[in-house]
Amino acid sequence: MFSKNENKTGLDKSTIQDYARKIGADGDGNMQYESEFEVPSGFGEIGAILVENEHHKEMYLKDIVLDGLPNGPVNVTCNSWLHSKHDNKQKRVFFTNKLYLPSQTPDGLKRYRAEELTILRGNGQGERKTYDRIYDYDVYNDLGDPDKKPELARPVLGGKQNPYPRRCRTGRPRCDTG
Tens digits of per-residue pLDDT, 102-114? Answer: 788 888 788 888 8
Q: What is the pLDDT of residues 18-44, one digit of tens each?
A: 888 899 988 888 899 999 888 888 887
CA distance 58 to 54: 9
Give a yes or no: residue 140 inside a domain. Answer: no
Q: How many domains does the chain have?
A: 1
pLDDT confidence tier of residue 7, bands split at 50, 70 and 90 = very low
- The SS3 call for residue 88 is coil
Instruction: Give the number of other Cβ atoms within 10 Å of residue 162's Cβ.
Output: 12
Do the beta carbons of residue 136 and residue 170 sit within 8 Å?
Answer: no
Look at residue 64 and tell me whether its pLDDT is greater than 90: yes
Please choose, from the candidates 169, 124, 176, the residue with its C-alpha nearest in 3D space to the C-alpha of residue 148: 176
Query: Can you give the residue range of the structural domain that contains 83?
Result: 2-100
Asked if 138 contacts 157 with a C-beta cutoff of 8 angstroms, the reply is no
CB 25 within 8 A of CB 32: yes
> Can you give the CATH number for the domain in which 18 is found?
2.60.60.20
pLDDT at 145: 80
Residue 28 lies in a domain: yes
Q: Are strands 31-34 and 21-25 parallel, antiparallel or unpaired?
A: antiparallel
Cut 0.75: pTM above it: no
Q: CA 135, CA 113: separation in Å to the nearest integer? A: 16
